Amino acid sequence: MQHFSAFALARNALTGHRGWQKQWRSPEPQSEYDAVIVGGGGHGLAAAFHLARDFGMNRIAVLEKGWLGGGNTGRNTTIIRSNYLFQESSSLYDHAVKRWETLSQTLNYNVMFSQRGVMMLAHTVHDVQVFQRHVYANRLNGVDNEWLSAEAAKEFCPPLRISPGMRYPVLGAALQRRAGTARHDAVAWGYARAADAMGVDIIQNCAVTGILRDAGGAVAGVETTRGRIATKKIGVSAAGSTSLVMGMAGLRMPLESYPLQALVSEPVKPVFPCVVMSNTIHAYISQSDKGEMVIGAGTDAYISYSQRGALHVTTHTLEAICELFPDFRRLRMLRNWGGIVDVTPDRSPIIAKTPIPGLYVNCGWGTGGFKATPGSGHLFAYTIAKDEPHPINAPFTIERFRDGVMIDEAAAAAVAH
Amino acid sequence: MLLIPCPYCGARPELEFSYGGEAGIARPENPAALDDAAWSRFLYERTNPRGPHDERWRHTHGCGRFFNARRNTLTDLFVISWKVGEAVP
C-alpha cells in the first residue's frame, strides 16, 4: 500500500502526480475463502479489515453487487453520535465513536471526522423531560451529553431560531460535543484500501444468488453471478437487502426495508457550525465541507426497494428546516435521493450468529448505521472469527425478539433514527 | 407520491392513506397455545420481498376503510387492489 503523507504528496506534486497507484486491486474471485462478507459498504469492508488485521484470517473476500459504498454508505447524512438511552446502545455506539476518533490514523486515510457536536432539539415539555433523562442516562454510562437552554443552544448554533412564537418552539437542547460528522465515501474507500493492503479480495459487480449448505446444514459456500465460491463462514452485511440474502438460506428475518431520503442544497460559505437534529418535527441538518447543507428526512410509510421516496416526505422536512432556520428559506436544493434501510421492530441492530452454523448477520441498523461503522465492523469480525459475540454486541441477537429482551430505542426516541 | 387504487373510491394520492403492513398474516386462534418462537414469528417476521407484495392500506382521509393491494416494491407500481374478505387474486 502506498503510504499517504505530506511527504508523499509533495514528492508526487514534483512528478506531476503521475506516481499515484490504484488504491485497491480488482481481483478475480478465487474458488475458496476462509470467510466471505456479503456487502461492500462501510460495515462489510470494516469487518473484512478487522478479520484480516485483528483476527488473523487472511483469505477473505468482500462481495458487492454494485460498487463500493454505493448503497447506504454513500447515501446517508454522515451524522455520528452515541447519545442513545439504553446502556446496550450507548456502549455499542460509543465503541464506534472511540474508533472514529483515531480512524484516519488507523487507515492512513483522511475520513474527515469532525467532532463539531450534535445538538438534539426539544420542542415540547415531553421532549425536555425525555432528553434530560437521556443526558443523565448517558453520563451514567460514560457518554458525554449535556443540557442546553434555548439561549445556549442559539449561542452554539447561531442560525437557530428560538422565537417563542414558533409552532414548535425550541425549549432547550441536548448536546453531545464528541459527536459530529465524517466523509462517508472516504470511509468506504479508506477501509477498502486498508483491507486490500492486507490481502482481502474486494470483488465488485458480484451479486450473491444462493447460499450453499453441507450435509450437516452448515454453510458451504455462495453462488454468485461470477461463479461458485466455497467458504465455511459467511458474514451478511447487506443493509436493506438482508431479508433477500437471508432468504437464500431459508431464514425469515424480523426486518422490513423502507426508503429513507436525504437531500443537499447548493453550496454556500460556512454558516452552520454543528449538526442539529429534531426528532419531533423530523429535521436533521449539517453543512458539508463543500458547503452544501445536508438534510435528512424521515422514512416513507411503506416498504420498498426502489431507492427513492415520495416528495411529500422531503417537503415535510424542508418545512421544519425553514421554520427552525429562516435564513435557509431561499436556499435551492441541488439533489435528493433515497436509500433502503432495514428496520427491526425495536429499532436496534442485529450483530449475531444465526441458527445456521457459519452464517452470521449484521443488519437492522435502520436509519442510523453509518455512525456505527468502525465499531460494528470490529464487533462483527470478532463474532465471525470467534463464533461467539463480543460482550458489547451480545445483547443484539435475533433471538431477543423471541425472548422479549428488546433494546427499545424506538420507544426511547419515539422516532426511527 | 404513490397513486393508490382504493377499491371503494378509485385512485387517490398517497397522502389520503395509511400503510398497514404485510397482508394475509392471520392472528393465531389461540395465542396462549403458542410457544415463544411461533408467537415472535407472528409478531415480527415479515416476507419483506423485492417484487410483488400483498399489503394492507387504509383510506384514512377518504372512505376510512381497510383494503388489500398488491404493489411491486421495486417499482412502487400497484398491480391490483381488493376488498377485505375477497379472495386473494
Domain membership of residue A282 as a residue range:
118-177+256-343
Chain B hits for A253, Cβ within 8 Å: 45-46, 48
**Best residue in A305, A403, A405 to probe B by mutation, most B CBs within 10 Å?**
A305
Whether A226 and A338 map to the same domain: the answer is no
The Cα of B79 is separated from the nearest Cα of chain A by a number of Å equal to 15
Does any domain span residue B88?
no
Nearest CA in chain B to A341: B48
A96 and A196 co-located in one domain: yes
Location of C-alpha cell 458525554 = A144
- Same domain for A270 and A328, yes or no, is yes
Phi, psi of A175, deg, nearest 5 = -120, 125
pLDDT-based confidence at residue A413 (cuts at 50, 70, 90)? low
> Looking at the complex, does the CB of residue B42 fall below 8 Å from at least one CB of chain A?
no
Q: What was the ipTM of the complex prediction?
A: 0.96
Which of A257, A301, A403 lies nearest to residue B36, judging by beta carbons?
A403
Distance CA A353, CA A219 (A): 12
Q: Tell me the C-alpha to C-alpha distance, in Å, between residue A116 and each of A36, A198, A275, A327, B13.
A: 36, 33, 7, 21, 41
Query: Does any domain span residue A113?
Result: no
Q: Specify whether A124 is located in the same domain as A262.
A: yes
End-to-end CA distance of chain B: 25
Mean pLDDT of chain A: 95
In this structure, the answer to whether residues A350 and A333 fall within a common structural domain is no
According to the model, what pLDDT value does residue A417 have? 46
The residue among A413, A123, A159 whose CA lies nearest residue A274 is A159
Non-local (6+) Cβ contacts of A339 within 8 A are A71, A72, A75, A76, A239, A240, A259, A260, A262, A307
A217 assigned to some structural domain = yes
Report the alpha-carbon distance of residue B84 to residue B67 in Å, rounded. 5
Answer yes or no: do A303 and B50 touch at CB < 8 A: no
Per-residue model confidence (pLDDT) at position A44: 98
Are A169 and A318 within one domain?
A: yes
Asked if A405 and A358 sit in the same domain, the reply is yes
Q: Is B47 exposed, middle or buried (0-12, 13-18, 19+ CB in 10 A)?
A: middle
Q: Can you tell me the distance from the alpha carbon of B3 to that of B69, in angstroms, rounded to the nearest whole number? A: 12
Contacts of B2 in chain A (CB under 8 A): 302, 310
Are B50 and A256 within 8 A, CB to CB? no
Based on the structure, what is the number of domains in chain A?
2
Nearest CB partner across the interface for A252, out of B43, B45, B73: B45
Query: End of a domain among A302, A326, A343?
Result: A343
CB contact under 8 A, B40 and A402: yes
Residue of A nearest to B48 (CA): A256
Please report residues of B whose CB lies closer than 8 A to that of A302. 2, 19, 55, 71
Q: What are the percentages of helix, strand and coil residues in chain B, rounded to 5? A: 15, 35, 45
Structurally, chain B folds into a number of domains equal to 1
Tens digits of residue pLDDT in A299-338: 999 999 999 999 999 999 999 999 999 999 999 999 999 9
Query: Does the structure show a pLDDT above 90 at A414?
Result: no
Specify whether A43 is located in the same domain as A97: yes
pTM, full prediction: 0.96
Sign, CA dihedral B28-B34-B39-B41, equals negative
**Contact in structure between A351 and A396 (CB atoms under 8 Å):** yes
Residue A305: closest CA among chain B residues belongs to which residue?
A: B74
Residues A391-409: what's their mean pLDDT?
A: 96
Residue A132 lies in a domain: yes
- Calculate Rg over the CA atoms of chain B: 15
* Inter-residue contact B66 to B84 (CB < 8 Å): yes
pLDDT of residue A1: 84
Q: Given an 8 Å threshold on Cβ–Cβ distance, is A302 in contact with B71?
A: yes
Cβ–Cβ gap A402/B47 under 8 Å: no
Contact A304 B46 (CB under 8 A): no
Looking at the domain assignment, is residue A12 inside a domain? no
Residue A328 has which C-alpha cell? 435557509
Among A343, A373, A398, the domain-final residue is A343
Residue-range definition of the domain harbouring residue B51 = 3-83
Query: What residues have CB less than 8 Å from A239, skipping those under 6 apart?
Result: A39, A41, A43, A71, A72, A339, A340, A341, A342, A363, A365, A369
Q: Which residue of A lies nearest to B39 if distances are taken between CA atoms?
A: A402
Interface A:B, Cβ pairs < 8 A: 64
Task: Give the model's pLDDT for residue A409.
Answer: 86
Kindly give the pairing relationship between strand A201-203 and strand A60-63: parallel
CB contact under 8 A, A402 and B46: no
- In a domain? residue B89: no
Is residue A13 within 8 A of residue A347, CB to CB? The reply is no
pLDDT band at A297 (very low <50, low <70, confident <90, very high): very high
Residues A126 and A238 in one domain: no
User: What are A280's three cell numbers?
Assistant: 419531533
Of the partner residues A302, A311, A401, the one whose CB lies closest to the CB of residue B44: A401
Say yes or no: A89 and A45 in one domain.
yes
> Are B19 and A253 within 8 A, CB to CB?
no
What pLDDT does residue B62 have?
A: 97
Domain annotation covers residue B68: yes
Q: Closest-CA residue in chain B for A400? A: B40
- pLDDT tens digits along A27-78: 999 999 999 999 999 999 999 999 999 999 989 999 999 999 999 999 999 9
Asked if A195 contacts A52 with a C-beta cutoff of 8 angstroms, the reply is yes
Q: A47 — phi, psi (to 5°)?
A: -65, -45
pLDDT for A58 equals: 85
B15 touches chain A (CB under 8 A): yes
pLDDT-based confidence at residue A416 (cuts at 50, 70, 90): very low
Amino acid A270: pLDDT: 97
Residues of A with CB under 8 A from a CB of B: 241, 243-244, 252-257, 301-306, 310-312, 345, 401-404
Same domain, A92 and A126: no
Read off the CATH number of the domain in which B56 is found: 3.30.2270.10
A278 to chain B nearest CA, in Å?
23
Give the gap in angstroms from C-alpha A201 to the nearest C-alpha of chain B.
Answer: 28
Q: Answer whether B48 sits within 8 Å of A302, measured CB to CB.
A: no
> Mean pLDDT for each consecutive 10-residue tract of chain B (89 residues)?
96 97 96 96 97 98 98 97 95
Residue A237: which of A135, A149, A362, A335 has the closest Cα? A362
| Contact predicate A102/A378, CB 8 Å | no
Per DSSP, the three-state class of A11 is helix
Residue A17 lies in a domain: no
CB contact under 8 A, B50 and A404: no
Partner A contacted by B19 (CB < 8 A): yes
Residue-by-residue DSSP string for A61-115 = EEE-SSSTT-SGGGTS--EE----SSHHHHHHHHHHHHHHTTHHHHHTS----B-
- What CATH number does residue A264 fall under? 3.30.9.10
Cβ neighbours for A49, distance < 8 A, ≥ 6 positions apart:
A107, A191, A194, A195, A198, A200, A377, A381
User: Has residue B18 been placed in a domain?
Assistant: yes
Q: Is the pLDDT of residue A347 over 50?
A: yes
**Does A302 lie in the same domain as A267?**
yes
Q: Give me the mean pLDDT over the A260-279 stretch.
A: 96
CA nearest to B52 within chain A: A304
The domain boundary residue, chosen from A343, A371, A403? A343
How is residue A352 written as a grid cell? 449475531
A218-233 pLDDT per residue, tens: 999 999 999 999 999 9
* CATH number reported for the structural domain that contains residue A47 in this entry: 3.50.50.60
Residue A186 binned pLDDT confidence (cut-offs 50, 70, 90): very high
Mean pLDDT, range A372-376, rounded to an integer? 98
Asked if B47 is an interface residue toward chain A (Cβ–Cβ < 8 A), one would say yes
